[in-house]
Amino acid sequence: MGMDFSTLRSLISRFCAGEENCVDTRTVYIGHKEPPPGAEAFIQQRFPDNRIVSSKYTFWNFVPKNMFEQFRRVANFYFLIIFLVQLIIDTPTSPITSGLPLFFVIIVTAIKQGYEDWLRHKADNAVNQCPVDVVQHGKVVRTQSRRLRVGDVVQVKEDETFPCDLILLSSSRDDGTCYVTTASLDGESSHKTYHAVQDTKAYKTEREVACIHATIDCEQPQPDLYKFRGNINIYMGNEPVSRSLASQNLLLRGATLKNTEYIFGVAIYTGMESKMALNYQSKSQKRSAVEKSMNAYLVVYLCILISKAVINTVLKYVWQADPNKDEPWYNEKTETERQRHILIRAFTDFLAFMVLFNYIIPVSMYVTVEMQKFLGSYFIMWDDEMLDEELGERAVVNTSDLNEELGQVEYVFTDKTGTLTENNMEFIECCVDGTVYEPDAICNGQVMPGAADIDMIDTSPGPQAKERAELFFRALCLCHTVQVKEEETVDGIKHGIHQGKSSSFYISSSPDEVALVEGMKRLGFTYLRLKDGQMEILNRDDEIERFELLEVLTFDSVRRRMSVIVRSSTGELYLFCKGADSSIFPRVISGKVEQVKARVEHNAVEGLRTLCVAYRPLSPEQYEQVCHLLTRAKLEFQDQDKLVAEAYDLIERDLILLGATAVEDRLQEKAADTIESLHKAGMKVWVLTGDKMETAAATCYASKLFRRSTQILELTTKRTEEQSLHDVLFELKRTVLRHYGAMARDTSSGLSSEYADYGLIIDGATLSAVMRPNQEDSNSGNYKEIFLEICRNCSAVLCCRMAPLQKAQIVKMIKASKEHPITLAIGDGANDVSMILEAHVGIGIMGKEGRQAVRNSDYAIPKFKHLKKMLLVHGHYYYIRISELVQYFFYKNVCFIFPQFLYQFFCGFSQQPLYDTAYLTLYNISFTSLPILLYSLMEQHINMDILKKDPSLYRDIAKNSLLTWPIFIYWTVLGVYDAIVMFFGAYFLFDNTTFTSNGQLMTTNTQMMFGNWTFGTLVFTVLVFTVTFKLALDTHYWTWINHFVIWGSLVFFVVFSLLWGGIIWPFLNYQRMYYVFMQMLSSGPAWLSIILLITASLLPDVVKKVFWRALWPTTTERIQNADKLYKGQLSEFTPLEALQPPHKAGSQRRGSANQRNAANPRRSDTPNKKVMLTRWQRMPDYCTFTPLLRLTEGSRRSKLGNAYSRAGPETAV
């Protein structure tokens, strides 16, 4: 029972505790060895195994869970109810008409979702079954990852990934350290140093490690990657030795061992309790904004349907109040019917009317939407412009349900490392006392070819300057924490050896340091190695210089610098210091500060990462004083960090400036252009990274996320230490609101370059404080709302030092804000998975950090640059297409069912169908579905090149603008109008009837045989032609496939009607449609009536479009007209925003000779670009409907002549 209560207490404390200090601890027994008697109570806790589960379904719960999720959709649940009603009661139509499409949708969706989850199971199995080396009884045994348990001692070799969270016991290195890359966790591909437990680092073999007798007490698993607390009790004698454990002892699952032959570690967190797994977001079903609009429209139409059924039911019983009408002599009721209660009869009639009118809810729309999304997704995968030839990869669609959401994105959350950048630092130049040195430009003091464009302050340095330059080069070769790896061994084969000589390469915790050391190598000074405390340098004369490394003053983000103290072979002592210019310049007492500062500012403007280098000669007495300061600070356990920082501050003073460096963090190809396009499209871009603030900020400048004019606002730990969080937040809020309150900011027009915009930088620790405000402070207010208000008024936001779960929290916070914007997250590593799953649309990049992001994303692209086309082109098209599809489906079903509703007033509310059963079944399946499906796959309302050149067109479809309530009401009213025209137009044709000599009832007007099926067939014929022509009028992009499908569907309807009514089908127990269609077409006036009714139905929509395009054209309509006018050559012109220069007085001249000469241009003349400019300047609302424009322009017509209808070089000037 004790074990059970311990586990229960652990769970309760984990999920119910509000603060970290309330979290319970766990005890881990290394190697599953019990502690010595009397040491402590041995309570073996239960921990999960090491399996990772990212799948959603199991074999047993797939059917019920998937069915539950599908029937949560309003449409699916409604059709299920209708299907059951048709089974239970006698209804006018067959249950097949509702059941077949419903089950088709359910089965197709279940297969698709089941296949996607099977792929996730497959990926999980690949991870869970990978081999792991475990120490058992002094031997290394190979087992599967999923079999690991807490307490197992694991051996991990170089370049292997840690299978679970481990405490480092020992490593192959003498100092007990190991080097690790955590790229898949926090995005940093640099090498980090981790330390073994001091008392176990000497155990190097599996036999020795198996002898370790110890227990670990640590906190229960937490998602924070950078925090860990615990202690280890080692039983070496009578008294156990206790050592504290921190995050530097914890190796995280997903990280990779580098530059270390092997390590031994003990598993403390396994499976779904590892920190990486806790940072995963559970995969939930994502629904697009269009689908939500569809559900809202569905509810409206459901209300309309219920209203129709109620009205018809009430009127039926009003009609039957007269006994003669209730029970005529030719249709007497049975005794059972007479005895049924009126309420039961009324309810049955209500359900029958519901079934009769249920076609107003378009079940086939959901089938078509599923097909459109599935087939449409192939256009992304087939796009050759989104093919990366280097990787040989194309874009991948993992979830086709969100295609149209790509056209609605308002916020883009992107990772930095591997997403925006290639994480490939390159040394560009260095400046020593004003002299600029570039690799391959200046070598051995000689100016090399290709250096003519360099701003040389002193191109021929003298002996003193040369000596200073060499001191600068030595400083950079010594002031770093770079490690040298002589050779690389992969699968037992040694790489990196060329011509018998070992080709070394550098690794470091900072890629900047590697770039600087490699840059010095190209300038003639090569760092060789650190051996026995001696740093070796190969100078330009191929001589090896040795410096004794005495002290390393490590880099931290507060000081923003690092230093080393070295002793040369001649006994001279130096302190070399490098760091940010803001931290070096104030500490400099001599040197050419102004020249170096000017060069640093120049490089910063170019988006390069700059560092300043300084030095200080030390006397032996000064060095002794330095040693004393550092030793005293490091021995203090209380406030150790503070004392060390004060000691560093005292040491790094009175420096002599040497120069500065410039390093470029190479961005991915066209990353800056992509971000700029996203900004122009109205999207806000946030960078969420686990990297350091300085590194991330430099990338933001290089990628044009921050501009030169951007005023940076910092909300970081450094600032909140100086001021309270409350004060900092309110100060930032006042700053941004004062700025934007002073000017009328038009949110729809984007950010103007005429004023300085704001950029916000926030770190993970401060974000945690913002998300969890101090409740005791009554003045704290709602920090989250204030933070959101600041963010709304910033053009870009950078969040650095983010844990993976914090990235997801940021996305969730923006999603839940009052505007409810559509969000997109893009990343390439496992640290981005939570963010990708949380956002409305998640995109994975096929980068170097594994495929976790790609597997968990909705879409995957090879490079960041492909995001531009995916959103601005594919997203735009998908949204335009599906919005037309949704509105059109509701429209054509209103046209279809409203005549059925009107017909009940003429048939005594007897639930008599107006249309034949074949027409009822095939209307949505065959006659009208294929044209709209093809439209939703092929339509291109604007040329693809124009969408790419002018990102601002993306704003026209933002905020679900094509599925708003006014547009929905317009389509519904148009459908009702068309239905009224069709029904009453046909009704008046049958107004006068006479008996023929054969006793048949004929219409006087059309000489057609009169009957309800003839009437219904006439209405149905006009209906099919009208809705098809309506779609043809809305189509802008015509291909032979469009023509074939649109006109082919009309031909199919006619052929089917001729066959259906021209043959006596033996399997039918009724022949009511026999010869009806042919007899109707044999009447000439019927043909004329059909043409007139189609014209009358379409006329209001055509007139409305003509007037709207002439008087209030949208940007899209202007471009469509211009593209037609210029015969598809508009894509060669500049974007629209560049086509709005101020009017010149000279452009107002009329009737010039040039204009008269241009009155009759040749058809072969092609308009030049200048014509396009003048047209947009002079006539922003021009259109190809020339007569209508002339009417609306009035007196302008005579002045402009034929400017609208003719194309010529100077027509509109």
> Which residues are identified as catalytic?
415
Could you give the dihedral angle defined by the CA atoms of residues 785, 790, 795 and 797, in that order, rounded to the nearest 10 degrees?
-80
Q: What is the dihedral of CA 330, 336, 340, 342, to 10 degrees?
A: 0
SS3 of residue 527 by DSSP: strand
Q: From residue 239, how far is each of 202, 209, 213, 744, 1039 by CA, in Å?
A: 20, 20, 12, 74, 87
Question: Using CA atoms, how far apart are residues 871 and 880, in angstroms rounded to an integer?
Answer: 13
25-28 — which CB contacts under 8 Å span 24+ positions?
Answer: 25/217, 25/218, 25/219, 25/220, 25/230, 26/150, 26/217, 26/218, 26/219, 26/220, 26/268, 27/215, 27/216, 27/217, 28/150, 28/151, 28/215, 28/216, 28/217, 28/218, 28/266, 28/267, 28/268
What DSSP state is assigned to residue 873?
I
Half-sphere exposure of 669 (CA within 13 A, CB side): 5
Pick from 452, 7, 431, 488: nearest CA to 261: 488
Collapsed DSSP state (helix, strand, coil) of residue 575 = strand
Three-state SS at 1175: helix
Does residue 363 contact residue 75 with C-beta atoms inside 8 Å? yes
In 55-148, which ranges are E strands?
131-136, 139-144
How far apart are the C-alpha atoms of 904 and 902, rounded to whole Å?
A: 5
Q: Where are the beta strands (DSSP E) in 152-294?
A: 153-157, 165-171, 177-181, 191-195, 214-219, 230-234, 241-245, 250-251, 256-258, 262-269
What letter does residue 332 receive in the DSSP assignment?
A: P
SS (H, E, C) 906-956: HCCCCCCCCCCHHHHHHHHHHHCHHHHHHHHHHCCCCCHHHHHHCHHHHHH
Q: Check if the beta carbon of residue 751 is closer than 8 Å to that of residue 757.
A: yes
CB 354 within 8 A of CB 305: yes
Closest C-alpha among 49, 52, 48, 50 to residue 121:
52
Give the Cα-Cα-Cα angle 944, 946, 949 (nearest 5 degrees).
115
What distance in Å separates the CA atoms of residue 892 and residue 974, rounded to the nearest whole number?
10
Round to whole Å and give the CA distance between 685 and 823.
10
Whether 565 contacts 630, CB under 8 Å: no
Q: In what order do the strands lie in the sheet with 177-181?
A: 191-195, 177-181, 256-258
- Could you give the CA distance from residue 223 to residue 803 in angstroms, rounded to a whole number? 8
The conformation of residue 161, written as its DSSP 8-state character, comes to: B
Other beta carbons within 10 angstroms of residue 1131's beta carbon come to: 17
Strands 421-432 and 435-437: antiparallel
Are 384 and 816 in contact, with CB atoms under 8 Å apart?
Answer: no
Backbone angles phi, psi at 203, to 5 degrees: -80, 105
Q: Are 511 and 189 in contact (CB under 8 A)?
A: yes
Token pair of 468 as six digits: 């200073």
Full DSSP string of 612-678: EEEEEEE-HHHHHHHHHHHHHHHH--TTHHHHHHHHHHHHS-SEEEEEEEEEEEEEPTTHHHHHHHH
Rounded CA-CA distance 280/256 in Å is 19
3-state secondary structure (DSSP) of residue 815:
helix
